[in-house]
Amino acid sequence: MSLPVVAIVGRPNVGKSTMFNRLAGERIAIVEDKPGITRDRIYSRSEWNGREFHLIDTGGLDFGEQDEILDHIKNQVELAIEEADVILFVVDGRDGVTSADEEVARLLYRSNKPVIVAANKIDNIKHKDEVYEFYQLGFEHVIPISSIHGTGTGDMLDVLVSHFPDKEEEAYDEDTIRVSLIGRPNVGKSSLVNAILGEQRVIVSPVAGTTRDAIDTPFEYEGQKYVLVDTAGIRKRGKVYESIEKYSVLRALKSIERSDVCLVVIDGEQGIAEQDKKIAGYAHEAGCAAIFVVNKWDAVEKDDKTLDRFKQKIRDHFQFMEYAPILFVSAKTKQRIHQILPLVSEVAEQHAMRISTSVLNQVLHDAMLRTPPPSDRGRRFRVQYSTQVSVKPPTFVLFVNDPELAHFSYLRYLENQLRNSFSFKGTPMRIVLRKKN
């Protein structure tokens, strides 16, 4: 089930990015190692009263060279209408209604999406009545807020959340492996979808599965049911924002949430880009199984070391995803395309694997005997008991004497020992520490 999407729109300088940063809170993806300038971050996963949602600051999207500020606003709004469940229309509460605000409103009328007007920069609550003027823009909700001080944002979020679509049931049964292809624009995702579905033994179901905003392609291969998630989104072409690099992140986020296995597609011809790292990082964080698919291998000039060198580059760039296998393919010549689904099926099995409590405890016990944890000022980390609490991804709870004593490197060691014993190929793993009383 994908999370609701909230898009922030509005003319420049009304406070969109300030508001985004306030709503995005402290949460910064672990893979983003340097914060950079504010406008580097235009997506965030936020939460209000237990409802999670994605937030996009469309003002931070780079639509390329544009002479007119209005063209830029038009693109923002078009993207918001296309992608968002709820639109947050920010205006400057002190300026009154401007012609640019009216233009945004006019564009928004065309959509059936709920629009909430946030009259920003009302730092002094005494001025909150002045925002009534903004009702003339024609939307039901006008909420005075101050992004700088945070006043009013709670009321605004209450209204926002009340317009989220109802949660939907996932349409597929437990046995169906949900796969998505993620990656930057032009790496060959849609070509790979076609290549996979075009394989001889792939039987595509006549009726495409649909959910609220995604068109999926269910199919069978060697008796196993699969569904390619959001294939319509991948295949959709010709929209102005298709070429926007940052936009691809949202697409990825939405399909990752609904997937068991993510194919992280990398352009073999162009090599690894910073954006690839972010996209792969989201799959990792979401607990999806992952396979690196290096596409366009036909177009790469090769000698006998090219493949190993490329593998090493992937390992260097994606150190947090050592578990993910790597395939070198060509959607164009179909080279190794037939290896994709068997690997997906293998990885999906590992993603759903359960280890019995007794075997798990034996393995961890042995590992800790072989390499005992270092002692910290005379105290040593001890694991009393462990158990696997869930799958997809495999999650283990370790009941320990004191979680503070666990060093990151030692947990890494234990994870590696589990991987040595059980493989868990292609899947991230979670280890949760609980203090045993």
Return binding residues.
Answer: 10-17, 57-61, 120-123, 183-190, 230-234, 295-298
Sign of CA dihedral 83, 265, 176, 350: negative
Give least dist CB 170 to ligand GDP, A: 25
Residue number with CB closer to ligand GDP (296 or 317): 296
Residue 249 interacts with ligand GDP (CB under 6 A)? no
Residue 44 interacts with ligand GDP (CB under 6 A)? no
Residue 298 interacts with ligand GDP (CB under 6 A)? yes
Cα dist from 39 to 14, 42, 81, whole Å: 15, 6, 21
Sign of CA dihedral 354, 358, 364, 370: negative
Using CB under 6 A, which residues numbered 226 to 245 contact ligand GDP? Answer: 234
Using CB under 6 A, which residues numbered 171 to 200 contact ligand GDP? Answer: 183, 185-191
Residue 296 interacts with ligand GDP (CB under 6 A)? yes
Residue number with CB closer to ligand GDP (21 or 224): 21
Give least dist CB 84 to ligand GDP, A: 17
Give least dist CB 143 to ligand GDP, A: 13
Cβ(325)–Cβ(291) below 8 Å = yes
* DSSP per position, 162-213: HTSPPP---SS-TTSEEEEEE-STTSSHHHHHHHHHTSTTEEE-SSPEE-SS
Residue 95 interacts with ligand GDP (CB under 6 A)? no
How far is the C-alpha of 236 from the C-alpha of 221, rounded, in Å? 25
Selected binder of ligand GDP within 125, 299, 389, 432 (CB under 6 A): 299
| Binding span for ligand GDP by CB under 6 A among 12-20, 101-109, 136-144, 219-227 | 12-20
| Half-sphere exposure at residue 306, Cβ-oriented, CA atoms within 13 angstroms | 13
Give least dist CB 239 to ligand GDP, A: 12
Enter the DSSP assignment of 56: E
Selected binder of ligand GDP within 16, 54, 278, 317 (CB under 6 A): 16
Total residues interacting with ligand GDP, rule: CB under 6 A: 31
Cα dist from 202 to 215, 227, 403, 408, 427, whole Å: 18, 11, 48, 43, 25
- Indicate the residue type of 98: T
Q: Which residues does residue 8 pair with via DSSP β-bridges, in sequence order?
A: 57, 88
Q: Report the interface residues with ligand GDP, using CB under 6 A.
A: 10, 12-18, 59, 120-121, 123, 146-148, 183, 185-191, 234, 295-296, 298-299, 330-332
